[in-house]
Each structure stands twice: as C-alpha cells, then as structure tokens.
Amino acid sequence: MERQLLGLLQLINETLASAIVIVATSLLLYNLTRNLRDRVARTSSLLLGTVTIAYVADALIALNPSPPMHIAILRFQWIGIAFMPVTMLHLADALLATTGLPSRGRRRRIIRLLYLVSAGFLLLAAFNELLVIPVQVFSPFESDRITMSLRAGPLFLIYVLYFAIVTLAAFLVVGRARRRCLTRSTRRRMGYLQFAMLTPAIGIFPFSLLLGFGQEFSIIGLALVNLANIFVILMLAFLAYPLAFFGSRVPDRVVKSDLLRFFLRGPVTGVLALVTILATDTGSRILGIPSNDFMPFAVVMVVLLWQWFVAVSLPFLEKWLIYQGEDSEALLNVQRLSDRLLTRIDLIQLLEATLSATCDYLRVSSAFAAQNTESDPELIAAVGAARPAPQALATESEQLRAIYASNGVNELEIIQWDNWWLIGLYSRRPGAGSSRWVGLMGVQARSNSVNLNEDERKELATFARRAADALDDLLLHTDIVMALEGLLPQSHITAANRGAIDYSPPRQRLSEPIEDDPVQFNEQVRAALRHYWGGPGLTNSRLLELQVVHDTLPESDQNPVNALREVLVRAIEAQRPPGERKLHSPEWTLYNILEMRFLKGAKVREVGAKLAMSDADLYRKQRLAIDAVADTLMEMEQTARSAHELQRPAF
C-alpha cells in the first residue's frame, strides 16, 4: 500500500513539474513577444527563465535517465537555482526604477557583482563537490533500481546564507517601490508582486539537500513537494497579472483581456493535454483499447472540447472579470464596431454583387452605381462592358441632383437617361433624414421606355435598397477612418504618459520633448493635418509645444491653434516645386496631395480622380507627403531653437 501511495505521489509530482514548465515557458514567451524594450519585462523574463530551467530539469529526471545523465541534469538544474536570487533582486530594482528612483550606480554595481557570485556557485555545482555531492540511492518505487541524488557539500550553507540575504533584499526593495506608488491600483499591484516574487524562491530552492538521506522520496517529502508545486503554479499565474501592466501602452482592460485569452488558450490548453496523456492508461483500460492507440484520440478530443468551451465562455468571462461598470456598454459598442465595420473594398464588392444580381434578374448585361459628391456624381462600382461617360454624368449632375434631392427613400422613380435606367439611392440611417440622396444606380435599358412589370419593380426596389445601404455605409466608413486617423495618435499619447500619474516623479523628465521622438512627431503631424479645419488632432496636438509655433503667435492673434495652422501651411508650401503648377507632373505630386487633401479638404476619390491615381497609390504617396512635411517642420523647429540659443544672454 505504501509503495502504491509513493507511486501516486511521484506521478502527481512529475505532472505538476511538467505543468510548471508549461506555465513558466508560456509566460516567458508572452514576455518576449510583448514589450522587451521595457526593463521590467526584460528582467521578469530572466526570472522566468531560471524557473523554466529548474523545472525542465525535473521533467527530464522523470524520464529515468542513466546515472551519468541523471547527474548531468542535476548539475544543469543549478543554472536556475544559482541565478534565481539575483534575478529576483534585478526585477525588484527595475520595479523600483519605475517609481522614479533609478539606480545612481550603487544598486547596479551590486547586482552585477551578485551575477558574478551566482556564476561562481554554478561553477562549484557543475565541476566539483564543494557545493553539492552526488550520491547513489535505491529507488523507493523499484527496489532493484539505483537512482541518483545530491547531498549538501561543505559550502552549501554559504549558498543558503546568500539565498536568504538576496531574497530578503528583493522583498524589501519591492516594498519600498510599493510605498512610493501614488495610486491605489499601482500600490495594490506592487503588493501582489512583493509576495508573488517569493514563488520562485519556494519552488526552486533545493530543500531536499537539507533533508535526511533519502527523505525526499518519503511520503511526507513528496507530499510537501507536491503542495509546493501547486503553490508555484498558482503564484506564477498571480505573478504574471501585475507584471503585464508594466511598459504597456494600451488600457488596463486590454491588458487583462489579452492575459485572460493567453492563459485560457495557451498554458491551460497545454496542461490539459499533459494531464490527458498521463491519464490515458486509465481510460484505455476502461474502454479496452491499447493506450498507444487511445492517446492521440483523447488528446485531440480534450483540446477541441476545451477550445470550444473557451470560445463559448470567453465573452461571459470578459464581461464578468473585465468589462464592469458604467463603461462596459460603451466598450462593447467599440468592439461591435470593429466586428461590423466593413472595409472600402468589402463595400465595393457588395455593390458589385448587388449590381450583378440586378443584371441577372432583369436580363441585362451592365449596371453601375455612382456616389453623390459635392461636385459631380462619382462612379464607384460597375459590372458589364458598358460604362456611363464621366463627362455625361458631369453635364447632367445639376439636373439629376434637382430630380433626386426632392424624392424620398420609399419612392422608386426610374428615369430614362441615355442608354440607362437610373434609380435614386437614399440613406435610411436614423437621423440622416429620409430624403438624403447618397447616389444613384444605373441599369442598362432594355428598351427606349421603362417596361417593367410589378414583380420586376418590387425586386428592383429591393436591389436599390441594398445598393443604397452599401453606398451609405461607404460614406460612413470614410468618416470613421478620417476621425480615427486624427484621434488615435492623441490616444497613444494618453496611454504612453499614463505612468506619470501612477508613480512618484523620476529624477529625469517624464515627458521628453515631442521632437525627440520621430515616430510620435510624425503621428502628431499626421493627426494635425487630418484635423486641419478643426478637431482634437489639431487642438490637442503636442505640436503646440514647438518653439516655431510660439514664435508665430504674434502673427496669429496669440491663438496657438491658428499659429500651428500657419506653421503647417509654411511646411506644406516648402514642398512646392518651382515653376508653374502641374497636376500630372511627378515632382508636383506630393504638393498637390497636401494642398488638395488637407488645405482644401478634398476627399480621397476626388483627389485620386484629379491626379489620375488609384486609392492605394494615393494613400502611399500621401504618407510620403506627410513624412516630408514632418521633416520640414523638424528643420523649422531646429532653426527656431538655434535662433533662441543665440539670442540668450551669456552669464
């Protein structure tokens, strides 16, 4: 009975050790792909690396290697054991630096020295018997099999003292960081970290070397190891939660959602697959199927069922754990917008499909859809060989506008025009007005007069409503994209500076000048141009901090926004080539795009038609033009600052 209990405890120990490997490795990969530019993310990756190495060794030992390989794995395990205390202190120092108290050199030198001390302990464990001594013991599970173990060497107590001092120092440093936090949420997270960081110490420290000879294989010893392993798994997950917020430029709810999805689809899936593999023998005996044949089927079924459960339960878990309070409905609406919003290409394809269905039903070969613009109707989609002449649409635009602008959404009035039957398309969006004309649909005429029967008129009305909805969504899509291009850079600034209100001010400046960050500078220029005629991209722009803008205030009635507009106009005019303006000359392309798109506020399709280029080419050239304006603005700012430096009196 005792042997069976020992075997069960050993099986649980092997399972938990493998689960820790899965969780620690998953968290390490999560850190490596998240934000390695952040110091906390880098140092926490080092700590997770020591945990992974230590428990990978335990998992390899469970495979019953030969005695020489067993000893080699036990010595390899000391990479994690030796470096774990100093990586804890390194992470604690990084956490303290986030509160505005970076090392002046003393803590940095101490950590480097401790890394050398850890390397010395590793060399002692790997190449001699001063720290640990390998011994042979009989396996408690198979009395005729000899296994290997390690006993404490003469210098092991020195390592214990080093381990205790460094771990206590890491605990106290994180406590100091917690006291410096300014907000309740950051103090709470730092408190979580202060105690969760002790997890590696509990899980990795070689307690078996302090036990009596062979006691690590006793029932009490294995039970204590299993309890410690369960605690390590829970605390690793607990450790990942507060660490995920450091260095993140996205809102907390996004961090929580990503972490929840990662845990459910990553570590939990891996642990379930592992448990299924280890439990296959029992299931195969019940079903009377050989375990090797039953195992692949069982693993695949468990993984598929778990992924199905995650897909079904994830919305409810997110609503319960993350999206709480008065903002939950607004956030869900933003998610719904992402799910429902179609791209321009999607909407054009939908229009083309509607036109094709219309042609098939009416037995004609061509049809088109045109969008109402401030100038002339613009051809958006067409099927078949025939196309309406753009000049003809432009010539008749005023007459068509007079006809369709007075009709309602429920009216189906078909007009004979040239070789086409024209149907007006109207918005049905709430609040848009029942008579807002958004465009027209043209169907190739079957005769010189409209000869549709009642059924054909009803079906054509259905197709026209579909085309009107797609065209209306296309207009809405353009408005949303334009708004987001100006708003997202401002949201990025807010997220990037969020740490300034969470922690004590650092000794250096929290917010660097905007011109010192080229990526952010270009984003601000793009947002200001998008909202040139009004909007947060201009009124809340960090470009208002520029010296060249301050110098322009006297010319702009002391209005900073008008001063920024004036500076942007100068930067755009700097892109103007010499000579007479030409619409289709390559050297004039960038200036033409800037002048028409931003100074005149023309739409993409209108500018593309005038410059004879596709939407994709226009967007690409527009990015180059904005970058050119940003470079010019940077040069103007450097010139203005140099002038102020020369004017500053010397003392």
Q: For residue 413, give the CATH number of its domain.
A: 3.30.450.40
| Residues 98, 46 share a domain | yes
Question: pLDDT tens digits for 356-406?
Answer: 999 998 889 999 998 877 666 778 889 988 888 767 776 666 777 777 665
Could you tell me the residue range of the domain that residue 151 belongs to? 2-248
**Distance (Å) of CA 557 to CA 131, 534, 540, 543:** 78, 18, 19, 18
233 located within any domain: yes
Average pLDDT of the chain is 78
- Please give the sequence-ordered ranges of beta strands (E in DSSP) within 289-393, or none if there are none: 367-371, 378-383
482 located within any domain: no
CB 398 within 8 A of CB 427: no
| Residues 138, 70 share a domain | yes
Give the DSSP H/E element, type plus range, for residue 300.
helix 291-321
Single out the residue in 427, 453, 476 at which a domain terminates.
Answer: 476
Does pLDDT of 470 surpass 80?
yes
Poorest-confidence range of 21-30, 138-147, 363-372, 640-649? 138-147
Single out the residue in 425, 459, 476 at which a domain terminates.
Answer: 476
Query: What integer pLDDT is reported at residue 487 of this predicted model?
Result: 55
Q: Average pLDDT, stretch 271-287?
A: 73
Poorest-confidence range of 35-39, 121-125, 144-148, 232-236? 144-148
| Residues 168, 51 share a domain | yes
Between CA 142 and CA 145, with CA 144 as vertex, the angle to 5 degrees is 70
24-30-34-36 Cα dihedral, nearest 10 degrees: 40
| Residues 266, 233 share a domain | no
Query: What integer pLDDT is reported at residue 295 of this predicted model?
Result: 82
Single out the residue in 218, 248, 278 at which a domain terminates.
Answer: 248
Highest mean pLDDT among 25-39, 207-221, 625-639: 625-639
Q: Average pLDDT, stretch 614-626?
A: 80
CB 125 within 8 A of CB 80: no
496 located within any domain: no
Question: pLDDT tens digits for 474-498?
Answer: 877 766 766 665 555 555 544 445 5
- C-alpha to C-alpha distance for 88 and 101, rounded to whole angstroms: 18
**Distance (Å) of CA 273 to CA 147, 239, 294:** 29, 23, 13
| Residues 311, 211 share a domain | no
Between 269 and 34, name the one with better pLDDT: 269
487 located within any domain: no
Query: Which residue reads 């579909």 in tokens?
Result: 466
Domain count, the chain: 4
Query: What integer pLDDT is reported at residue 281 of this predicted model?
Result: 65
CB 235 within 8 A of CB 196: yes
Three-state SS string over 511-555 comes to CCCHHHCHHHHHHHHHHHHHCCCCCHHHHCCHHHHCHHHHHCHHH
Residue 611 confidence class, pLDDT cut points 50, 70, 90: confident
Query: Which residue reads 């080539």 in tokens?
Result: 577
495 located within any domain: no
Residue 252 confidence class, pLDDT cut points 50, 70, 90: low
59 located within any domain: yes
Residue 347 confidence class, pLDDT cut points 50, 70, 90: confident
Does pLDDT of 434 surpass 60?
no
Provide, rounded to the nearest whole percent, the portion of the chain with pLDDT above 90: 11
223 located within any domain: yes
Q: In this structure, what DSSP letter does residue 577 have?
A: P
614 located within any domain: yes
- C-alpha to C-alpha distance for 121 and 131, rounded to whole angstroms: 8
Q: Average pLDDT, stretch 286-314?
A: 82
| Residues 66, 120 share a domain | yes
Does pLDDT of 469 surpass 50?
yes
| Residues 236, 93 share a domain | yes
Query: What integer pLDDT is reported at residue 309 of this predicted model?
Result: 92
Highest mean pLDDT among 15-19, 86-90, 244-248, 415-419: 86-90
Query: What integer pLDDT is reported at residue 504 of this predicted model?
Result: 53
249's CB contacts (< 8 A; 6+ apart) are: 492, 495, 496
Question: pLDDT tens digits for 528-586?
Answer: 888 887 777 777 788 888 888 888 888 888 888 888 889 999 999 999 888 888 888 88
Residue 651 confidence class, pLDDT cut points 50, 70, 90: very low
Residue 516 confidence class, pLDDT cut points 50, 70, 90: low
| Residues 196, 111 share a domain | yes
| Residues 13, 93 share a domain | yes
| Residues 257, 152 share a domain | no
492's CB contacts (< 8 A; 6+ apart) are: 249, 520, 523
| Residues 395, 267 share a domain | no
Q: In this structure, what DSSP letter does residue 132 have?
A: E
CB 13 within 8 A of CB 222: yes
CATH number at residue 57: 1.20.1070.10
**Burial 416-455, CB ≥16 within 10 A → b, else e:** ebeebbbbbbbbeeeeeeeeebbbbbbbbbeeeeeebeee
Q: Average pLDDT, stretch 270-294?
A: 72
| Residues 352, 231 share a domain | no
CB 427 within 8 A of CB 464: no
